[in-house]
Structure 1
Amino acid sequence: MALILVTGASSGIGRATANALADDGHDVVVHVRDRTRLSASGDTGRWTGAVIGDLADVDEIRAVARQAGEFGRFGTIIHNAGVLRSPDVVTVNTVAPYLLTALLPKPARLVYLSSSMHRTGSTDLRRLADGTASYDDSKLWVTTLALALASRWEGTTSHAVDPGWVPTRMGGPGATDDLAAGHRTQVWLATLRDVVPATGGYWYHQQTGTAHPAARDAVFQARLVDALEEHTGVPLG
């Protein structure tokens, strides 16, 4: 059984992912934005522990990393937390996954939540710092980070997952995709040994898909990592 961290697990896909993994016997640590969201859940008895912090705030991201580090080295980290319409879209969707990745001990497996909308994201990394980045941009960048790590860290696999447009609080009641299918790929990647490709996959409902070409471009990957290192002051290693 593995020790697994799931961010953004107070509701929706994150909570379904955490519960499925816990039900399979894994030791699951959940991240939630604030403690009231944790206490409002009836699932706390299923989890090994919780870390608390607002991923829209860089200081709190660092605090989440410190709290998570107290549990030891994770077998899998699932970067699920995200926002759709917020001035904090880049911080939550891109900077937080980057910082948590850089600050925590390297796990055996990394899974990052992407979106089909990443395909219309921009490669203009000036948007990272100037406040003009969109949701699409943030998802292109976190997808690129996931695929960059696939070849950067020996012994760590890394994948990006499009969960589909599902009827969660973020997706809205009009979403047309299968809610149950929204978390299955993450659970599968977190636990299954024989995944093809073993690392660097862009997944949709347990099938490989086509990512934005920039996400697989080694030059853009390097530019993104450099930009994130400069933006945060934290090297990826």
Structure 2
Amino acid sequence: MKSAYLLYEHQDAKKNKVFIEQMIDATQKQDIQLSLLIINEADWATKIDQPLFVWNRTRNANIAKQLELAGIKVFNCSFVNGLANDKKSTLQFAQLQGIPTVPILLEERIQQYPVIIKTIDGHGGSEVALCHSKDELNAYRSKWSTRKIIIQPYIETHSTDVRVWVVGSKIIGAVKRQGSQDFRSNYTLGGSIERYKLSKEQQSQVLALQKALKSDYIGIDFLLLPNGEWLLNEIEDPVGARSFYHLYDEDLPKLLTEHFVEELGM
């Protein structure tokens, strides 16, 4: 049986225990022994021995890059992981592909409030704040003084966005999320969810972005405007799938394993 590894940070591994077990079962059916490694443990790297692949479920692109330099196949590659965890780079990359995005504001050119301030590498709706004045903005800049941030205009969406999951070049699902507490729509923060049907133009934009990225498994989040148009907000890698499981019957571990096997030419 061929060996492969699944990389997680300790806390994320605890939250995703069931999914990890499902992935181990799914890969075993393809004659792959998938082993979990926790990167918080000092000796994790020494345990990797000529694997078929490594699936990086951390937000550390440097780890993926080091493995790639050692000739190891990594899902997602370091480029995708690094881009997805840098919101500014994500938006700039998407703009080059002709994808409509949420604008980025230069602080000295802010003409009206409210605005949104966020760290470029926050996730799950954390480290995102709505500022109604320059004083509030300065307070968050001070709070996150050691972090890189971006500032964006507040766009009225009634706390609504769309997440699209993509495995390889296949869109496997999309969900409309609406926040219940504040301007954020994250399901983990108490928002409501429902399936969302993409238009042909939206499908085309998603697949164009995936093709440019050459991603294996990502989530792409778009702000959904009242007129039905959307603006790309961020890309998630690693991406959560709790709302996918609530709304879809597809066997996600099976879909992922089949993609990995296809990419490896097995």
Q: TM-score, normalised by structure 2?
A: 0.33
Higher percent of residues as strand: 2
The structure with the largest helix share of the pair is 1
TM-score by length of 1: 0.36
Larger radius of gyration: 2
